[in-house]
Structure 1
């Protein structure tokens, strides 16, 4: 039968971007080696970005699944601080920005919690509270490629309804030569330092070494990377927009309050990656890889918090201007208002370790074995503090201000007018200008219960959540080659994964150390901690005092009191979730004919059994203090996950692919936690249960989907292709708010400390239920202009468009919108590369979507996010390719990111005037070089 599958040698050449398969038609199975050698081979002499396109295209073309791919050239030479920037340019993929950087990746309308990320094929831990990987932890400089699986096969370890993102490191034996490379970059933001103690410049450097020894039986790769990346932000943030009834009976909404600020941050990341390959014989191949990342993200935030309608000032009706179409008060003045000056600091630290061992052994011509073991862990700490200032302590002391606001009609928020001088260190001092510290423990500590200073001892707040995530994996597989007209090989395997993730939450009230009932006033900022002023003209508030709040805390100018003494929220957020996942799989590789055309692919099934448990606390309050009892709840379940991938070769350039599979996405870890607010009642509720439980649900099971994918691809030239894809997901067992029954055996009543006889409870939290569909289409093209004329060689265009629709209902029949779903996604890159000169411009767009952002206490909250268009560009010059032999290996480049200064905008409701967040990051520039010895 005619077979278009390339040999191993051909595949090796293809992976290097050296062959054009458009001129290769492999002979029939009975053809001799001499006849095959006579086949015409066209050599493509392209390097750099164009070569990477060929590599990526061939990965996509010859994969048994529907995939998207990026080669190292793509990653290393685009303006990317993380791999997420590069991934977001692939067809059907997009990213959500966090603090100005792409971090969370969505695949075909599904948020990051519905996809899995693997590193060299192994599932990874996360520095987030849940499963979604934050890609800014992974340096793009040390990766050799990324493959995104849109359709799975039975051997893939990652689980995700949306797909699996596999990050790949280099394999030194495949290089065949020694490579020593040095990369260096300088980075600068378009904004000057928005905070006086910040920096708007940074640098990056990478040294990599690849070599082979002992007659190419040992390969070594080592990469060391360091980065300090600045980011600046002008941010408008609103508390909310309350509604009230006007005297004429109309419903009117107004600004409740705002928290605008400027942020200066510096992301520092040090990474070490190592790979050792050992191939002493043709039958044995061993690979050991390791990755270490030390990650710190430091943020300085300063601004003025303005409680408008929810404040203490009075709003004059004759100053209010109401938009007649929306009933929104677009401008007003509040008299006698007191604001809160904020000098905040946040530091997020994480340390990642990942180790892997893989051994492949060919027993004979028909059997091969593979063993894989890996371990990864991450420790994350957050130290996030708020420091308050104003003119006097409490709601009614100190100078008040007359403050007005005006919304300009766009999505940029409001600008304010004011009368006080917020840069005056004599007028503005440290302390709580509003009564926010509603804590009986705080009142008791300072003896202010029943006095005029009750609930006025909070001068700041410190959040200190930590996360530990640990994952161990083992995998064994055997592949049997068969002589069959249909099946060419069968792979059998088992795997085991053990994961434990623990979150600890705590928070502390801050009170200036000079405060007491005898000395209840504010504290003047000590001279040595003053940093001048910060400019807030972007919201009309002028200059504001700026001081080193972190230094003041560390040097003892604040006293701390744990909020968890009287607030149950930290007990809810503290938990441990454990999973033990055992899987068995079998997959047959197909190699046959249909309608006289070559048909390849695979069919398989994966059985997955899960034992999960969660440890936490059942808690309540007694006499104002939090009382807890430990909880430990277990649950198990199983899934059978069949999959099918077919590829029909119409000729040597056209292919039709079909994929079908059942997939799962596991529940968010914070939703599975066993920490609950528990109350034991002497009488049963309507369900016959005595416990009332509010919190996590440790018995949550994965969401399920049955997916179909149909793709037509035409590889019409060595550097060009176009494809059309249709996809459909039938969703079930989604997760929504609801009631469930929970077993409280062994849990003591927090009010009495005794274990009741009745152990059943009615839980309120997340439950499985609801169903729906997601469907869409995808168009993509890689168009080299040399197909029109050789004079246009080097010019090209890459473009894709994805349209997505969904029809999903929750378990109550209410419509539901998936987080991360944009109904339109588009990407365009135009490039020219020839004679050493390189220039590229990229645009990625996504429409409106719902996304998760950090709320109070680092809880994840879902908001409506406006669509955005991001534009990047690069210009570079490779001296060796340009013919300068004395400078062989040296290239230089200039990159620009977010050139149109696209903001990140989220809304409060459907009214475009009611802006929740408007974040202006400005532009970023990188100037760099690469030198290969």
Structure 2
């Protein structure tokens, strides 16, 4: 594991200008060279027409248009003829430029993919046509694990075909690597990029420039007597930083009584749905508010390899392997207002319960955290294709995919107190440990929190109480083993051109475990010694200075590992001797599928028509093992409680199963040589995430210091999954009109409709637990499947064109734009404040807040790219926008979270010295777009996250 040290804004702007200048310098040189070196044409010379070799952005667009035109389903493709030519910094950012696709941005990069406004749960992602694992507990792919330089095609299939892997209501994202024999030529390529994070200049101890290096080799060999052998090998290594700045809130929100005058020593009183229905006003508030300064140091090493052997015209054997190891460390410094329910007065509240301003008092905590995550992806497969006759093709594919993620936090909390570490009374502290503050988000990007003017947040002495150490470790292990068998038979004079049938078997396993070691320290002398030994200067300048309205720019910070050492005598206490917990998941999902598909090439309504019709049958069986145990109540020294297992566990196995028949038909009508009409009708399914099939339980404890009983302290018990959850099924229709005027141009419009059969709603199930020697019956919140139907409708537009008819140099200008609109009546109820159903009676209790829509649904998604090729120089600007959307937390049921509108601008410049050597400059998020979360309704701010622009300066050599 490599740990790198993670300094002013003016310096960063200077660096940015230098990088841009360096990137644009070749343009000026090239233009001058063209003006001087190109001789005038000679009237009497014989004209020789040379072959035009198209490269770069134009080549990628041409290839993508060609692939889309040739597809047998409604699809959009980003393709490059040569390895490493995808016009994007990452696979996620490449997908963002495809029509109808958008991403959720994490740590400054594109992560989860939404297709046509539908989140990753309703889509599927495959790698070389196979399911791929990840370490998050969902079915999306961690695109950061796959180097974009080693991927050549990303396709989104928006209608289904019977021989596709099932799982794509929204569509299927498939990434492909090069097949070396099909590539057809030798290629050795090395590429290096310097990476610079714009916010790195704010850090007092900046990490400087990172790097990313890639090398690839492709070759083909004729082996006497053994046919042809193709070899492909690619490796990449990366080191960089991802500094971020954050204001956030807890993920637990309540509705408080708006008529209550809350005492400064009390929490607000929550309201019931019945009270709200009767007219009781309410306001929405989070349990805590946090400022976070942190920097991530990232290292990734990847290797991709492939062999393609063709001993004769009848037999082909292919093998591919991928391995990606990613390690990152994160150093956090949190300033936490831990009691946001307490003493809430002077409230300004909107009609729908959004709390815009108030006063309160809270304990204040300085909490440093050191996090380290290791994640390894390993996958590959063996494919055998045999043609025993000219008409019959048999194919077998055996594959394996595995992701293992281990993450460990070492966190120490130091709290405000009536006296400092020297026993001196601290001005501004009330009620023992608390400090008065005001909160105001009116007319601001970010809430302004102002503490009592006599309390100094930057004074280390003031954090002198209730030291709490936590060692949290989570392990996620996801594996998929699969095999498929396909046979294709070519027909003649039967109306069908070929028939295809096949079987697929897969076994997915998902296991996770969370382990917590907690140590509380109250001895004043011990806290004083650790406080003095482990102080740090606030690590950066200009904290959240981009956020309009921010009021806190620094606070007293400490070194987390130093505090651990001071309190325990070691950097790492190690895990609990018994790591078992009632929240553990152990899920096995077995899938058997069979299909038959016919392809046709005929005439209908006087028009040539090609396409396919098929039927797929899928059976899924789930076995989920959970643990149950009694719980002991532990009273913390600060007056709160925690629950610890008694160590006596019982295993509980829950089984679930489902069947689905998935018919599909795709037809492509050739209206003209350059005009196509595609029709797609199909039924599709999306399975629940593996983590949503768990059989474990999670306890949520209310904030506060005094409870009259254990069940008062327990807000709720949440099931971390439901093994009996059935897949979401939908009937789908697509209509796409596509015009291909030339190889550089496409204009297409598509409309689509989806009818979902089923949905999810929180259900309350009473369960009995032994807690602290008492028998307690508590309602458990669990998502259950409903029989409700809902509709999604939408349309999408795509246009790409190169203005080749303009005079030089403007003939090198081109563009590609895409827009998607989607709307749905699908509802996702808030876990705590939304509608809830009694599964025994079927009675639905109306909720307090409005439901969200479908996970990932943005009503508007747009991407636009403008490029200009001037001789050896290519310039490209890319803008990506998506409107607000509901973003589900992955890993456990939670309340509704929304992401506001985001628009991001990227830029690329490339100078090709010759066919072998090129230089590039790239910048992402150049407009420094923040990401803003609301919860549990839009307008109620939960989080403001900003990570700044990133710059890349690279060189590539190929021969």
Task: Specify the TM-score bucket, using the shorter chain as the normaliser.
Answer: 0.7 to 0.9
Task: State the Cα distance separating 1:237 from its structure 2 match.
Answer: 1.3
Counterparts of residues 526-545 of structure 1 (less than 5 Å): 527=533, 530=536, 533-535=539-541, 536=543, 538=545, 539-545=550-556
Which residue among 894, 898, 904 is the counterpart of 1:870?
Answer: 904
SS at 2:64 equivalent: helix
SS of the equivalent of 1:808 reads coil
1:232 to 221, 240, 243: 243
Tell me how far 1:716 sits from its aligned partner: 0.8
Find the counterpart in structure 1 of residue 44 from structure 2: none
Q: Tell me if 1:128 matches 2:133.
A: no
Tell me, what secondary structure is at the counterpart of 1:109? coil
- 1:574 matched to 2:595: no
Alpha-carbon contact 1:184-1:203 (below 8 Å) kept: yes
CA distance in 2, matches of 1:905, 1:575: 31
The equivalent of 2:15 in structure 1 is none
The offset of 1:250, in angstroms, is 7.9
Structure 2 SS opposite 1:467: strand
Give CA deviations for 1:49-77 in whole Å, capped at 9, x if unaligned: 10111111111111101111112479946
Alignment partner of 1:738 is 2:760:
no
1:727 matched residue in structure 2? 752
Q: State the match for 2:877 in structure 1.
A: 841
Cα shift at 1:816: 5.5
Residues in 1 aligned to 2:439 and 2:698: alpha-carbon distance in whole angstroms: 41
Aligned-pair CA distance for 1:232: 1.9
1:221 pairs with 2:232: yes
Pairing 1:179-218 to 2, within 5 Å after superposition: 179-196=187-204, 199=207, 201-214=209-222, 217-218=228-229
Counterpart contact for 2:897–2:937, Cα < 8 Å: no
Shift of 1:532: 6.1
Task: Give the structure 2 partner of residue 32 of structure 1.
Answer: none
1:612-691 matches, within 5 Å, as: 612-621=622-631, 626=645, 627-676=648-697
State the SS of the aligned residue for 1:670. Answer: helix
Worse overlay, 479-488 or 411-420: 411-420
Q: Is the 8 A contact 2:420 2:461 kept in 1?
A: no
TM-score, scaled relative to structure 2: 0.79
Tell me, yes or no, if the aligned pair for 1:210 and 1:222 is still in contact at 8 Å: yes
- Report deviation, 1:368: 1.1
Q: Which moved more, 1:47-56 or 1:225-234?
A: 225-234
Q: Does 1:524 align with 2:521?
A: no
CA deviation after TM superposition for structure 1 residue 177, in Å: 2.0
Answer yes or no: is the 8 Å Cα contact 2:896–2:937 preserved in 1: no
The answer to which of 165-174 and 547-556 deviates more is 547-556
8 Å CA contact 1:473–1:495 kept in 2: the answer is yes
Which residue of 62, 66, 69 corresponds with 1:61? 69
- 1:296 Cα deviation from its structure 2 partner: 1.6
Distance 1:393 1:600, change over 3 A: farther
Native 8 Å contact 1:243 1:253 kept in 2: no
Q: Which residue of 2 aligns with 1:35?
A: none
- Residues 496-519 of structure 1: CA deviation (Å, up to 9, x unaligned): 11111111112221445xx55x95
SS of the residue aligned with 2:691? helix
Q: 2:470 & 2:721 partners in 1: Cα distance? A: 26
Give the secondary structure class of the aligned counterpart of 1:716.
coil
Match runs of 1:117-516 below 5 Å: 117-196=125-204, 199=207, 201-214=209-222, 217-239=228-250, 244-245=258-259, 257-307=288-338, 309-310=340-341, 322=348, 338-392=363-417, 399=426, 400=429, 403-407=437-441, 409-416=443-450, 418-428=453-463, 432=466, 459-511=468-520, 516=523
Q: Taking structure 1 as reference, are residues 406 and 573 closer, same or farther at Cα in structure 2, changes over 3 Å only?
A: same
Paired position in structure 1 for 2:266: none
**1:213 Cα deviation from its structure 2 partner:** 1.3
- Aligned mates of 2:650, 2:173 — CA distance in 1: 40
Alpha-carbon contact 2:386-2:395 (below 8 Å) kept:
yes
1:357/1:373 contact within 8 Å kept: yes
* Residue 573 to residue 276, structure 1, CA distance change in 2 (3 Å): same
Q: Which runs of 5+ in 1 are unaligned?
A: 1-40, 433-457, 679-691, 743-747, 754-760, 881-887
Provide the residue aligned with 1:100 in structure 2.
Answer: 108
How far does residue 908 in structure 1 lie from its aligned partner after superposition?
2.9
Match status 1:924 vs 2:939: no
> Structure 1 pair 859/137, CA: closer, same or farther in 2 (3 Å)?
farther
1:667-704 Cα distance to aligned partner (Å, 9 max, x none): 122222122589xxxxxxxxxxxxx9955322222110
2: distance between equivalents of 1:173 and 1:275? Answer: 10
Q: Structure 2 vs 1, CA of residues 310 and 676 (structure 1 numbering), >3 Å: closer, same or farther? A: closer
Instruction: Describe the shift of the 1:700–1:718 C-alpha distance in structure 2 as closer, same or farther (beyond 3 A).
Output: same
Contact 1:875 1:894 (C-alpha < 8 Å) held by counterparts: yes
Contact 2:79/2:86 (<8 A) preserved:
no
Q: Report the secondary structure of 1:245's partner residue.
A: coil
Report the Cα distance in structure 2 between the residues aligned to 1:137 and 1:693, rounded to whole angstroms. 32
Secondary structure of the structure 2 residue equivalent to 1:279 = strand
Greater mean alpha carbon deviation, residues 610-619 or residues 196-205: 196-205
Deviations 1:641-665 (A, max 9, x none): 1111110111211000011111111
* Residues 705-714 or 233-242, more deviating: 233-242
Q: Distance in 1 between matches of 2:469 and 2:916?
A: 54
Is contact 1:191-1:200 (8 Å) kept?
A: no
Q: Distance in 2 between the 1:209 and 1:861 partners?
A: 48
CA distance in 1: counterparts of 2:766 and 2:245, whole angstroms: 47
In the superposition, relative to structure 1, how do residues 492 and 166 fare at CA in structure 2: closer, same or farther (>3 Å)? same
Q: How far apart are 1:805 and its partner, in Å?
A: 0.9
- CA drift of 1:462 comes to 2.8
Could you tell me how far apart the structure 2 residues matched to 1:159 and 1:255 are? 36
Q: 1:299 offset after TM fit, Å?
A: 1.8
Change (3 A) 1:559 1:860: farther
Aligned partners of 1:44 and 1:185: how far apart in 2? Answer: 29
Structure-2 separation of matches of 1:809 and 1:331: 30
| 2-structure distance, mates of 1:718, 1:288 | 33
Counterpart in the other structure of 2:815:
797
Residue 609 of structure 2 corresponds to 599
Determine the C-alpha separation between the residues in 1 that align with 2:503 and 2:102.
33
Size of the alignment, in residue pairs? 821
Q: CA deviation at 1:773?
A: 0.9
Out of 60-69 and 625-634, give the one that drifted further. Answer: 625-634
Instruction: Please tell me whether the aligned partners of residues 255 and 329 of structure 1 are also in contact (alpha carbons under 8 angstroms).
Output: no
TM-score by length of 1: 0.81
**Structure-2 change in CA distance of 1:154 and 1:741 (3 Å):** farther
User: Pick from 86, 97, 119: which aligns with 2:94?
Assistant: 86
Query: What SS does structure 2 have at the residue aligned with 1:86?
Result: helix
SS at match of 1:821: coil
